[in-house]
Amino acid sequence: MFSEWAAWAIIALPLAAFAINAFIVRPLGAPAARLAGYVTVTALAVTLVLSVLALMAVQDAHGTAGYEPHLWFAVGPFDMTIGIFLDPLTAIMLIVVSSISLLVQVYSLGYMRREPAHGGHAAEERAVHAGAAHAHDAHGHGGDAPVGDGVSREHPYADYPRYFAYMGLFTASMLGLVLSSNLIQLFIFWELVGLSSYLLIGFYHWRPSAAAAAKKAFIVTRIGDFGFLLALLYIFSHRAELMAAGLNPFDIRDLHQAAPLLGPGVVTWIALGLFAGAVGKSAQFPLHTWLPDAMEGPTPVSSLIHAATMVAAGVFLMARMFPLFEESATALNLIALTGGFTALFATSMGLVVHDIKRVLAFSTVSQLGYMMLAVGVGAPVIAMFHLFNHAFFKCLLFLGSGSVHHSVHTFDMRKMGGLKRWMPVTYVTVLIGAISLAGIFPLAGFWSKDEILVAAWEGDTVGRLVFLFGIGAAFMTAFYSFRMIYLTFHGEFRGGIDAVPMAERIPDEAHHAVHRHESPRVMTTPMVVLAGAAVLSGIVANAPFDLGIVPAHWFAHFLEEEAPHFNWPIAIVSTLVALGGIGLATLMYRTNAISAEGMALTLKPFHVLLSRRYYMDELYEGLIVRRVLYRGVFQAADWIDRHIVDGTVDLAGWLGRNTGRAMAQVQTGQVQLYGVGIALGVVVILLVLLTQGGG
């Protein structure tokens, strides 16, 4: 039996790391700054051990660890509870979050270290945008630490305390989210994840682009969270019938049983509200626009966001609440269509991006679309299997992009090339990640992507439609994955940051220079571990045959679902489609048999459309924000405020002032006039009394 205290410790350890780094290490200044990384790494190492023990306990128990919820507060007959919900789904997410977080923090020990001789060579990143949709590609990271970090701007560990404090809070928030037994409790951690992402995306807050990206992420995800909040309020409005049946309105296990009591109409609205929250957090169309700009944060932050924390929260919520969703065909169809469209839509934008991190960002949006597609066709376990595999190879790819940047100080693939000669470890590991992302047998991405396509194909009309979306996305994913490989690692080196004229560099980049060497072991070791997971996680976790180590379809059986069957025709088709994408990328970017520039000119309208991200940012910024909201809603509200609200207040003041002046006229200060007034009053009173007496 896994102790409930140990489960709470999984949340408490990274939270304690946050507190220690924020309130003890950071104020101590330079002498203690380096300790911040070790504090967080140690806390997460223990967290990973506890997560493994939790998974083993759940497997031994063949189901949920039965912890009783604790009373938080009571309002009449309604009890608000908090507690731990440890079941197979939670156990899987604990392993994903804690393992990925630990590897990212180890990597960060090297990546976030400054090198003062080069102006902060490995500490900061820059991605300058010319407008919301036009992005200049990042050329480097560096520059001064923000004032108030408690250490010198030139200190090699200047950013450690604040960075590792935020990362500890981020990890604790995600772990708290997946362990929550109550939907309100989950929502609190859900919002803490949003706060943490805001702090980390805007980590280099003295840069306007980073501050803008952080605000954009926070505001856009709040739009989805408003739907989540409406769902919670709607559940609370139906608390009477749930409590009459002995169910707590917000307890997740009780809500799994609530659908028959609430009816299909109520369940549909609740499901759509929860889905809105997932759309915001997991960057699904139309709330996807924040994620590419979130690359303004440090690369390890991007890796953690995309692999195991923020964007994974939406998919986890859908899987956690699936017993409600499956009662509404309307909600499931909408989820499937949204996910399938997002997978295709986001992948298309990745075809033309030159910033290596943004290629991976659009890839994440697309892969999350696959996961949503799987939920929509009634296969949440397969969605979680893809989340499980995706965490390893996407984390690897982002860390690989950071390793490249560590050497050439740019994220612009047009200024890379030939890096495999002096970065062999980075090259091999990123190549493994790209093959897995493309879904090539037998790497991890193949197994989960294939199962999603099978589930879609065997569904209804909506399933067949989103299957086509998935096949189209598979082709483009393979294409841009190997476009990234060829532009970054093959061919001749095109200069890196040295190719950027000094006059065009931002001040942070002034002293940067290319370093032709592999990244240090503290960075490459996590990449090697993730590469191993990208090769093995799919086949070990859910292979259709017994490996000896684990039984066939272990993942599905652990999540208490029937094992999916392997569909050879679809596997062959999806593999051929992916190989076709790789082949086209090879012809265009390796052998140059097809001119990439010529193709871009031939398809210029489409190329511009994709480069401008379908003008979604212009739509939101120009039309909705500036015209509809500013010129319509905001100006109307301003007119009401000035003319009606202020006018009413001004009228009250005018009446008070002028009434006072009128009354002041009779206040002369002459006693004889006051006597006359009193006498007249007495006469009036007497007349009234006499009149009444005569009547």
Give the pLDDT of residue 506.
56
CB 373 within 8 A of CB 452: yes
Give the pLDDT of residue 131.
34
The model's pLDDT over 202-222, given as tens digits with 9 standing for 90+, comes to 998 888 888 999 999 999 999
Instruction: For Cα atoms 211, 215, 216, give the angle at the middle one, nearest 5 degrees.
Output: 115
Average pLDDT over residues 400-406: 93
Higher pLDDT, 100 or 143: 100
Give the pLDDT of residue 18.
97
Does residue 486 register a pLDDT over 50? Answer: yes
Does residue 23 register a pLDDT over 80? Answer: yes
For residue 638, what are the contacts with CB-CB under 8 A and spacing of at least 6?
none
The model's pLDDT over 35-65, given as tens digits with 9 standing for 90+, comes to 999 999 999 999 999 999 999 999 888 777 7
The model's pLDDT over 515-544, given as tens digits with 9 standing for 90+, comes to 788 999 999 999 999 999 999 998 888 877
Give the pLDDT of residue 168.
96
Does residue 508 register a pLDDT over 60? Answer: no
Helices and strands in the chain, H and E counts: 31, 2
Does residue 115 register a pLDDT over 70? Answer: no
The model's pLDDT over 652-680, given as tens digits with 9 standing for 90+, comes to 888 887 887 777 766 767 777 778 888 88
The closest alpha carbon to 15, from 166, 183, 199, 200, belongs to 166
Could you tell me the CA-to-CA distances from 415 to 296, 420, 489, 493, 497 in Å, in that order? 19, 14, 11, 7, 7
Give the pLDDT of residue 312.
93
Average pLDDT over residues 452-477: 93
CB 287 within 8 A of CB 123: no
The model's pLDDT over 571-621, given as tens digits with 9 standing for 90+, comes to 999 999 999 999 999 999 999 899 888 888 989 899 899 989 999 988 888
Does residue 333 register a pLDDT over 70? Answer: yes
The model's pLDDT over 433-456, given as tens digits with 9 standing for 90+, comes to 999 999 999 899 999 999 999 999
Strands 70-75 and 78-82: antiparallel
Higher pLDDT, 345 or 160: 345
The model's pLDDT over 242-292, given as tens digits with 9 standing for 90+, comes to 998 889 999 999 999 888 888 889 999 999 999 999 999 999 999 999 999
The model's pLDDT over 186-195, given as tens digits with 9 standing for 90+, comes to 999 999 999 9
Lowest mean pLDDT among 28-32, 63-67, 381-385: 63-67
Does residue 120 register a pLDDT over 90? Answer: no
Taking the C-alpha atoms of residue 93 and residue 384, their distance in angstroms, rounded to an integer, is 9
The model's pLDDT over 283-323, given as tens digits with 9 standing for 90+, comes to 999 999 999 999 888 999 999 999 988 999 999 999 999 99
Give the pLDDT of residue 331.
95
Torsion of CA 466, 471, 472, 474, to 10 degrees: 120
Does residue 647 register a pLDDT over 90? Answer: no
Give the pLDDT of residue 513.
72
CB 395 within 8 A of CB 303: yes
Give the pLDDT of residue 505.
60
Does residue 121 register a pLDDT over 60? Answer: no
Task: Read off φ and ψ for residue 29, nearest 5 degrees.
Answer: 85, -155
For residue 660, what are the contacts with CB-CB under 8 A and spacing of at least 6?
none
Give the pLDDT of residue 693.
67
Taking the C-alpha atoms of residue 101 and residue 41, their distance in angstroms, rounded to an integer, is 9
Taking the C-alpha atoms of residue 612 and residue 606, their distance in angstroms, rounded to an integer, is 10
Average pLDDT over residues 479-491: 95
Top-ranked range on mean pLDDT: pick from 71-80, 135-144, 389-398, 492-501: 389-398
User: What value does the mean pLDDT of the chain take?
Assistant: 87
Does residue 122 register a pLDDT over 70? Answer: no
Give the pLDDT of residue 42.
97
Give the pLDDT of residue 503.
63
Average pLDDT over residues 418-424: 93
Give the pLDDT of residue 542.
80
Encoded amino acid at 588, one letter? M
CB 426 within 8 A of CB 344: no
Could you tell me the CA-to-CA distances from 216 to 86, 210, 414 in Å, in that order? 34, 10, 27
Does residue 128 register a pLDDT over 80? Answer: no
Give the pLDDT of residue 502.
65
Does residue 125 register a pLDDT over 50? Answer: no
